[in-house]
Amino acid sequence: MEKDVLEKFRNQLKEKQEEILEEVGKTLSEMTDQTTNIPDPNDRATVESGRSFELRIRDRERKLLSKIDEALNRIDEGTFGVCEDCGEDIGLKRLNARPVTTLCIDCKTIQETKEKSKGL
């Protein structure tokens, strides 16, 4: 892959990484600020539901951060954009849509088909 294209992906990944870390900081700050006792059970349930939702989002972002780190390492190692299953290049359309991917569209489709057949 060309050096300028790799740098574009590196910058895109780093921007997303910074964005996630910024949101984590905001969430932590908001949750520590909301330590007041809420006497009304309905209000408390609403607050707890919101916190639970926020924590689920942050957990997904934590997993994404790990994938971003792995993608940045692949850029450094020169393996970014190469399918880990078949060794073929991953298409730029797919990488633009999901820069953390490790599978080309064909291998991903096969993987999903296998997962669906196991679930049935």
In a structure prediction context, what are the per-residue pLDDT tens digits for the chain, which is 120 residues long?
899 999 999 999 999 999 999 888 777 777 766 656 778 888 878 878 888 888 888 889 999 999 999 999 999 999 999 999 999 999 999 999 999 999 999 999 999 999 999 875
Q: Can you give the pLDDT at residue 84?
A: 96
Q: What pLDDT is attached to residue 120? A: 58
Provide the whole-model pTM.
0.79
Distance CA 75, CA 81 (A): 8
Q: Are 10 and 75 in contact (CB under 8 A)?
A: yes
Residues in the chain: 120
- 1-80 to CATH, choices 3.40.50.620, 3.40.190.10, 1.20.120.910, 3.30.420.40: 1.20.120.910
Q: What is the pLDDT, as a whole number, of residue 112?
A: 95
Instruction: Check residue 48 and give its pLDDT.
Output: 82
Residues 73, 79, 65: CA angle, nearest 5 degrees = 35
Whole-number Å distance between alpha carbons of 102 and 120: 26
Distance of CA 29 to the CA centre of its chain: 22
Give span(s): CATH 1.20.120.910, the chain: 1-80
